[in-house]
Amino acid sequence: MEMKSNRKYLWLLGALAVLHAAILLAGFIAPYDEAAQNREMPFSPPMRIHFVDSAGHFHVRPFVYGWKHPQDDFTVYDVDQDQVYPLHFFVPGAPYKLANLFRTNTHFFGVDAPGSIFLFGADQFGRDVFSRTLRGGQISLLAGLLAAGLALTLGTILGGLAGYYGGWWDAILMRGAELFLALPWLYLLFAVRAFLPLQVEPKQAFLLLVAIIGLVGWARPARLIRGVVLSARERDFVRAARGFGASDLYILRRHVLPQAGGVILTQAALLVPQYVLAEITLSFLGLGVGEPVPTWGNMLASLMQVHILESYWWMIAPGVASIPFFLGYMALANALEKRARLAAT
Amino acid sequence: MTYVTRRILHMLFLLFGVSVISFVFISLAPGNYVDEMRLNPQISSETVNALKAQYGLDRSTPVRYWQWLKSLTRGDMGYSFAYNQSATSLIWPRAVNTLLLTVSATILAWLLAIPIGIWSAERRGHFDDRIISAATGSLLAVPDLLVALALLWFAARTHILPTGGMVSLDFDSFSFTGKLKDLAAHLALPVAALALGMAPILVRHVRAAVTEVLRSPFYLAAAGHGIPRSTLLFRYALRAAANPLISLLGFSIGSLLSASMLVEVVLGWPGLGPLLLEAILARDLYVVIGAIMLSTLFLACGSFTADLLLYWQDPRIRTQ
Amino acid sequence: MKPLARIAALFAAAALGLMPLSSHVEPQTSARDAGTEFMVSTGETGRPGGRLVVSLRAEPKTLNPVTFADTSSKLVIWRMMADLIHINRYTQQPEPALAKSWTVSPDGRKYTLKLRHGLRFSDGLPLTADDVVFSFQVYLDESVHAPQRDLLIVAGKPITIRRLDTETVQFELAAPYGPGLRLFDGFAILPRHLLEGPYRAGKFEQVWSPTSPATEIAGAGPFRLKEYVPGQRLVLDRNPFYWKQDQKGTRLPYLNELVFLFIPNEDAQVLRFQSGDIDMISRVSALNFSMLQGKPATAGYNLADAGPSLEWSFLFFNLNDLSKKNLPQIAGKQKWFSNNVFRRAVSLAVDREGIVRLIYQGRATPIWSPVTPGNKQWFDQRLPHPARSLDQARQLLRNAGFSWNSEATLVDAEKQPIEFSIVVSSSNAERSKISTIIQDDLRQLGMRVTVVPLESRALLSRVLDSSDYEACVLGLASGDADPNADSNVWLSDGSTHLWNLHRDSPPSSWEAEIDALMREQLTARTFAERKKAFDRVQELLAENQPVIFLVSPHVLIGVKKELGNFKPAVMDPVDLWNVEEFFWKAR
C-alpha cells in the first residue's frame, strides 16, 4: 500500500516536472516568436503532420501541407497538396532567451520558408497559437503560483491566529477579513495602474497587480482555516498539550495547523487556477497584460466570443493546455496531504 | 443577547469602514463621470464644468463623503449621475432579480455538491472518485464566462431554452402557471452556468472535509458497529465534517449579490451585474457605493449566520 | 385603410391586450385629421400592425430630450420626439419635419419657419408655436445644462426666437451660419403643457425618467412610451397622432410596437438574433457579421453592409505643451513626435489594408482624412492616398537624421533609441487590435512600441487632463455629415483638439490656416465655398499629419428579411432612422 502510493507520488511529480519544463523551455519548443504575425494567414486552422503523402508514399521525415484559399476568399482555408513542407529539427529561427538565461535562436522544429507550421492553428493576426500557448504559460503559472502562495501564507497565519486565540484577535481579524472581502478592489487596481508609469513593462505591471490580488486575497482562506483551528484547539490532545505547558507556537505548529492541512492544500489547489483565470476579468477591465505578450488569461479572454466558439475552435488551446496543470496541482495536493498524514502516524 | 448586539455593532463598524475606504479608492481611480462627454466635439468645456459642479464632482472626497452620510440619514443612498435617479430606486428592483438567480443557483450547487462530495470521499481513490476529480478539476480550469457563453450558444442552437432575459415578452398575458414555467425556463441557463461554477469548489471542500472524518477513530468504530453506510455517511460523517463547510456556507450567503455579475452580463439577466459593471466603468459613484454597501451587508450577514451555525453545531465551541 | 376599419383594428388590438386604451386619447374621426398637413412618405406602401424587437447594449438612462448624454437614451428618445427641420439620415440633407416650409432672409440671419397645420403631441394636445418658443427657451437656459445649448450659440451670441403667429416662428442669428438649416436638427419640440410646471419649479432635469408614468410623457415622434421594466426592456407603442402618412393616406407608423430589449453583451445579442428573439441587430462587429453570414440558420436574414460609417479611427502623438507639467520622459520624446517627417514615416508604415483584412475581415475602409467615403457630400476624392511603403518611410527617417544601430533599432541623431507606448481603450477590442498591428508595423522600422490597454475613463483622464501619454489610438464618430460638427477637433483652441489641448494661439502657420478655414466655412453662404475651405483643411491635415488617420469601420446590420422599408444609413441612428416607415411583409 505504502509502496504503491509512493510510486504514484513519484509519477505525479515526474509528470508535473515535464509539464513545467515544457513551459520553462517554451522558446525552444515553440517554432515561432510569440508575437510574430503572418498577415497572410489570419485564423489558419491547425495543420496536420503527415507521414504519408497524397500518392501513398511513406516519408521518414514528417511534413505538412500548405494552405490555399478557394475563390480567393482569405477567410477560407483548404489543404493544398502541391505545397509540401518537410519538418526540420534544431533549426535556426527567431532569437529568444532559453529559460530566460541564454540567448539563442535554435528551435526544436520548424519548416522552411515560405511554409508555416501552425500545430494549434493561428490567431487573428496569424500568430502561432502553439508558440503562444507555451509562452503564455510562463507568465500565467508564475502569476498564479505567486498570488496563491501569498494569499495562503497570509491566510494561514491570520486565520490560525484568529481561530487559536479567539476573543479580540478573532473579532478584529475576522472583521478585517470581511472588510477585505467587501472592498471594491477593482478601483484600487485602477488606481495602481494609473499611478504606474507607462514605461513599466506590461509583464511587470501585470505581476504587480497579481501580487496585489494575492495580498488582498488572504481573507477567504483565513476564514476557512479559522473554522478548522477553532474546533481543533478544543480537541483533547490539544488541551492536554496546553496543560503540559506547551507553548502556543508549538501547539499551533504541531497539533493545530496539521489539522488544517486538508483545508489549506485544497485551497491551494483551487486558488492557483482561480488566480490564473483572474486575468480574464482583469483584461476585461483593461488591467491585463498588453499585446503582444501572450498569457493564458488574455488568450482565453479573447476566446470568449461567439464567433470564435463557432468558427475557430482551436483558439481554446490554452484552456485545454491548462487543465493538466490544474489537475496535476490538485493530485499533488491530495498526495501531499496523504503523505503528511502517513508521516504523522 | 450581548453576543448579538456585539455582532450588530461589528457590522455597523464594518459598513462604516467599507464606505470610507470605498470612497477613497474610487477617488484614487482616474477619471470621472463627465469625462466621456468631453470627447463629444459638440459639447463645450463650460457645459462640462457646469455639470461637474452640479454633480459635486469638483468637491473634495471628504466633503462628498460627508454629504453622502447626510443623505443616508434621510434613507437615501445618493444619486445616480447617469440615470438622474436615486441609487436606491435603481438598485432595489435589480437586487431582487439577482437574489432570485443566485439563491436558486446556490441551493442547486449545494444540493449537488454534498452527495457528490461525500460519494467521492467514500470512494476515495476509486475510479468514480477519479472521474469526479477530473471533472471538477476541468470545470475549475474553464472560466465561468466561457461556461455561460457555451450554454447560451447551445441554447441558441437547439432552441430548447430561451436565450437570455428573465421573462418572455408576452409574460403579462400568461396564466399563473404559464408565468411560473416561463420564469423557470429563463432561470435554467443562468442557474446552470452559476451552479457549474460554484459546485466544483464545494465538491472539493466537502470531499476534503468528509475524508478527514472517514479516517477518524469514532467513525471507524461506528462503521465497525454495522450502522448502515448511508446513515453513517449522512448522519455522522457529514455532521462531523460540518465546520469548514459551514464557513463555506457563510461565503455562499455572503456572495449572493456579487457572485453572478459577469454571468448576468453575458446571459442578459436583469440583475445588479449589468448595472454595476456599467456604473463601475462610467464612475457612477453612488450607484457603485450603494451596491458595495448592500453586498457588504450580505457578507456580514453570511459570516454572522456561519458563526451562529458553528456555535449551534459544534458543542466544543459552545463551551466558550 | 378606411377609417372604420382602422377603428376596428384598434379595438381588436386593444382586445388582444396589445394597446392600452386607458391613458391615451385616440383620434376619433378622420374629419379631425382632414386639416392636418401630413408629410407623405416616399417609402414603399406597407401594412399596419406588428411589433419590432431590437436590442440595446445599455439601458436608456433618461427620456428627457434636453439632458440626455448617452447613446441608448438618444436612440429611444428620438423615436418619441421630432424636430422642426430634420436631417434625412439617408440623403444626409435637411428636410421638412414639424416645419413644413421656411424662408431665410437675404443676410442669412433670420429664419422664418412655418409649422404644419394640425400638429398634435402624442397625448392628443395641439403643438403650436408656443411649444416651439418654450422648447428653445429651455435649451438656452444655462441652469438646465443642456449639452445641445452650445449649438445655439452663433458668433458668441445665443440665437433669439420669436413667435409670429400660432404656426410661425422666427429665429434670429447674430451672424450667418454656414450649415444653415442643419441647426434645427436635434432640438426636440417639447410639450409646454406638461413641462412648463417642472421647468418653472427648477426641476426640469428630473422629469421624464424611464420610470415616469407614460401619461406624463408626450412628444411628436412616431412612438410613445408604453412600458419600462428595469433591467429588461422598454416598450414604445405607436403614436396615433403622428404627422406622416404613406402615399395611400395611411397614417404612419405602421408598427404597433417597438420593443427595446436590454442585452448588455454583443455575443448574447448575436445569439438572440440567431435564435429569432430579436428582429434586428446593429453595430455588429465584423467578425460576428462574417460568422452570421456563413450560417444557413440566418438564411432568413438580410445582412447589410452599408459601407464606411462616419466613424474614423486615428493614431495621434502627445503634442501638448508639457513645459508646465512634470513629465520629462514624454517631453524628451516630443522632439520626434512634433517632427512631421516622423509622423509621415509612421503613417507610411501603417498597414491599413492589413488592419482592414485582419481585424475587420474586409469590412472597413482605409482613410487618409476625417471625412470618410460614407460622407456623400463632403468626401474629397482628390486627396492623395499614399500606399504603404516601409522603404519610403525609412528614407524619410534617414533624411530627417534618424539612423539604425547594430541591433537594427531606430535611433535619433543623439543615438537615443525610438521607444514609445500607445495607450488604447481596452473596452474597444478592435482598436486594441489595431494598436497591435501598428506595433508590429513600426517594429519593422526599428521602433520599439508597447501597447498599453487602459480602461476607458483612465485613458480619457490621461488624454484630457494629465497629458501623461505618448501616443494614443482613438476613434471619433462624427455626429453629422457636415464637418462643422467636428469644429472643436480641428480648431487649435477647440475642446476636442486632443493631441494639443489648451492652446491660446495656433502653434504653427498651417494650424493658423486651419483655424481661419474653419471660421470661414462657418460663415460662408454657399456650399461650394464651404467645401473648398474644408477640402483645404483636409489637404493641410494630410500634409502635416497631426493625427494619422487609419480606417473607417463599415456599418453592419442584420435584420429579418420580411421587414419592409429597411434602409440602412451611415448617419446615426443607422438602423432605426426611418422606423415609422417599417412594416412587416406577409410572413
Does A198 contact C468 at a Cβ distance shorter than 8 Å?
yes
Provide the 3-class DSSP secondary structure of residue C417. strand
Does B138 contact A327 at a Cβ distance shorter than 8 Å?
yes
HEC letters along chain A: CHHHHHHHHHHHHHHHHHHHHHHHCHHHHCCCCCCCCCCCCCCCCCCCCEEECCCCCEEEEEEEEEEECHHHCCCCCEEEEEEEEEEEEEEEEEEEEECCCEEEEEEEEEECCCCCCCCCCECCCCCEHHHHHHHHHHHHHHHHHHHHHHHHHHHHHHHHHHHHHCHHHHHHHHHHHHHHHHCCHHHHHHHHHHHCCCCCCHHHHHHHHHHHHHHHCCHHHHHHHHHHHHHHCCCHHHHHHHHCCCCHHHHHHHHHHHHHHHHHHHHHHHHHHHHHHHHHHHHHCCCCCCCCCCCHHHHHHHHCCHHHHHHCHHHHHHHHHHHHHHHHHHHHHHHHHHHHHHHHC
Does A202 contact C361 at a Cβ distance shorter than 8 Å?
no
pLDDT tens digit sequence for C33-51:
557 889 999 889 999 999 9
Q: Which of C208, C495, C518 to mutate to test the interface with B (most CBs of B within 10 A)?
A: C495
More reliable by pLDDT, C420 or A93: C420
Q: Give yes or no for residue C110 having a pLDDT over 90.
A: yes
Q: CA nearest C292: which of C575, C553, C558, C561?
A: C558
pTM exceeding the 0.90 threshold for the entire prediction: no
Q: CA nearest C83: which of C31, C151, C21?
A: C151
Chain B residues whose beta carbon lies within 8 Å of the beta carbon of residue C231: 93-94, 97, 166, 270-271, 274-275
pLDDT in the model for residue B317? 63
The CA-based dihedral angle spanning residues A168, A173, A175, A180, taken in that order and rounded to the nearest 10 degrees: 170
Q: Which of B28, B169, B179, B265 to mutate to test the interface with C (most CBs of C within 10 A)?
A: B169
Cα dist from B27 to A287, B78, C571, whole Å: 18, 16, 37
Which of A285-289, C165-169, C208-212 bottoms out in mean pLDDT, i.e. has the lowest?
Answer: A285-289
Q: Which of residues 66-125 of C touch B (CB under 8 A)?
A: 67, 69-70
Q: Which of residues 303-332 of A touch B (CB under 8 A)?
A: 303-304, 306, 309-310, 319, 322-323, 326-327, 330-331
Closest partner residue to C453 (CB to CB) among A125, A190, A290 is A290
pLDDT in the model for residue C412? 92
What is the pLDDT averaged over residues C494-517? 89
Closest partner residue to C460 (CB to CB) among B36, B169, B266 is B36
Residue with cell 449545494: B110
Does B18 contact A263 at a Cβ distance shorter than 8 Å?
no
Closest partner residue to C291 (CB to CB) among A126, A283, A307 is A307
Q: Give yes or no for residue C125 having a pLDDT over 80.
A: yes
Residue with cell 489547489: A269
Chains in touch with A (3+ beta-carbon pairs under 8 Å) read B, C
Q: In whole angstroms, what is the distance from residue A284 CA to residue B144 CA? A: 14
Closest partner residue to A227 (CB to CB) among B254, B310, B320 is B310
Angstroms from B78 CA to nearest CA on chain C: 14
Confidence of residue C8 (pLDDT cuts 50, 70, 90): very low
Chain B residues whose beta carbon lies within 8 Å of the beta carbon of residue C232: 165-167, 270
Angstroms from B7 CA to nearest CA on chain A: 9
Angstroms from A211 CA to nearest CA on chain B: 18
DSSP letter assigned to residue B36: G
pLDDT tens digit sequence for C448-489:
998 888 888 888 889 988 899 999 999 998 878 898 888 889
Cα dist from A25 to A22, A30, A326, B157, B287, whole Å: 5, 9, 19, 41, 48
pLDDT in the model for residue C15? 37
Does A284 contact C425 at a Cβ distance shorter than 8 Å?
no
What pLDDT tens digit does each residue of chain B (320 aa) get?
Answer: 577 788 888 888 888 888 898 888 888 888 888 887 777 777 777 778 888 888 888 888 888 888 888 888 887 788 888 887 888 888 888 999 999 999 999 999 999 999 999 888 888 878 888 889 888 888 887 777 778 888 888 888 787 888 778 888 888 888 888 888 989 999 999 999 999 988 988 998 888 888 878 877 788 888 788 788 778 777 777 777 887 788 888 888 888 887 788 788 888 888 888 888 888 888 888 888 888 888 888 888 888 888 888 878 777 666 54
pLDDT in the model for residue C575? 92
What is the pLDDT averaged over residues C99-118? 93
Provide the 3-class DSSP secondary structure of residue C176. coil
Angstroms from A344 CA to nearest CA on chain B: 13
- Please answer whether residues B298 and B48 qualify as being in contact, where contact means their C-beta atoms are separated by less than 8 angstroms: no
Angstroms from C228 CA to nearest CA on chain B: 12
Task: Work out how many CB contacts closer than 8 A connect B with C.
Answer: 161
The CA-based dihedral angle spanning residues A272, A276, A281, A285, taken in that order and rounded to the nearest 10 degrees: 130
Describe the crossing of helices B176-214 and B144-158 by its angle, rounded to 10 degrees: 140
Provide the 3-class DSSP secondary structure of residue C173. coil
Chain B residues whose beta carbon lies within 8 Å of the beta carbon of residue A182: 14, 18, 292, 295-296, 299-300
Q: In whole angstroms, what is the distance from residue C136 CA to residue C140 CA? A: 6
Confidence of residue C10 (pLDDT cuts 50, 70, 90): very low
Q: Give yes or no for residue C24 having a pLDDT over 60.
A: no
Q: Give yes or no for residue C384 having a pLDDT over 80.
A: yes
C268 interfacial to chain B (CB closer than 8 Å): yes
pLDDT in the model for residue C541? 94
Q: Give yes or no for residue C6 having a pLDDT over 80.
A: no
Q: In whole angstroms, what is the distance from residue A66 CA to residue A315 CA? A: 20
C215 interfacial to chain A (CB closer than 8 Å): no
A84 Cβ contact partners less than 8 Å away, ≥ 6 residues apart: A53, A63, A64, A65, A66
HEC letters along C40-58: ECCCCCCCCCCEEEEEECC
By the 10 Å C-beta count (0-12 exposed, 13-18 middle, 19+ buried), C156 is classed as exposed
pLDDT in the model for residue C18? 38
Q: Quick one: cell of B45?
A: 468645456
Q: Which of C263, C270, C291 to mutate to test the interface with A (most CBs of A within 10 A)?
A: C291
Chain A residues whose beta carbon lies within 8 Å of the beta carbon of residue B140: 270, 273-274, 326
Q: Which of residues 212-271 of A touch C (CB under 8 A)?
A: none
Does A223 contact B215 at a Cβ distance shorter than 8 Å?
no
- Please answer whether residues A305 and C269 qualify as being in contact, where contact means their C-beta atoms are separated by less than 8 angstroms: no
HEC letters along C460-498: HHHHHHHCCCCEEEEEEECCCCCHHHHHHHHCCCCCCCC
Does C67 contact B275 at a Cβ distance shorter than 8 Å?
no
Q: Which of residues 409-448 of C touch B (CB under 8 A)?
A: 427
Angstroms from C118 CA to nearest CA on chain B: 33
C93 Cβ contact partners less than 8 Å away, ≥ 6 residues apart: C87
Q: In whole angstroms, what is the distance from residue C470 CA to residue C421 CA? A: 6
Does B38 contact C496 at a Cβ distance shorter than 8 Å?
yes
The DSSP element (H or E) to which C584 belongs, if any, is: strand C583-584
Does B41 contact C427 at a Cβ distance shorter than 8 Å?
no
Sign of CA dihedral C408, C413, C418, C422: negative
Q: Is the ipTM of this complex over 0.85?
A: no
Closest partner residue to B137 (CB to CB) among A183, A262, A327 is A327
The CA-based dihedral angle spanning residues A4, A264, A185, B18, taken in that order and rounded to the nearest 10 degrees: 160
- Please answer whether residues B235 and B225 qualify as being in contact, where contact means their C-beta atoms are separated by less than 8 angstroms: no
pLDDT in the model for residue A243? 79
Chains in touch with C (3+ beta-carbon pairs under 8 Å) read A, B
Question: Pairing relation of β-strands C160-165 and C223-229?
Answer: unpaired
- Please answer whether residues A310 and B149 qualify as being in contact, where contact means their C-beta atoms are separated by less than 8 angstroms: no
Q: In whole angstroms, what is the distance from residue B163 CA to residue B190 CA? A: 10
What pLDDT tens digit does each residue of chain A (345 aa) get?
Answer: 444 667 777 888 899 899 999 998 988 999 999 888 998 888 999 999 999 888 888 888 999 998 988 877 888 888 888 888 999 999 998 888 887 778 888 899 998 888 889 999 999 999 999 999 999 888 888 888 889 999 999 998 898 888 888 788 888 888 888 788 777 777 777 777 777 777 777 777 777 877 888 888 888 888 888 877 877 777 777 777 777 877 877 877 777 777 777 778 878 887 888 888 887 777 666 677 777 888 888 888 777 778 887 888 888 888 888 888 888 887 887 777 777 666 655
Does A39 contact C351 at a Cβ distance shorter than 8 Å?
yes
Q: In whole angstroms, what is the distance from residue C553 CA to residue C456 CA? A: 20
Provide the 3-class DSSP secondary structure of residue C295. coil
Angstroms from A202 CA to nearest CA on chain C: 7
Average pLDDT score, chain C: 88
pLDDT in the model for residue A345? 52
Q: Which of A224, A281, A342 to mutate to test the interface with B (most CBs of B within 10 A)?
A: A224
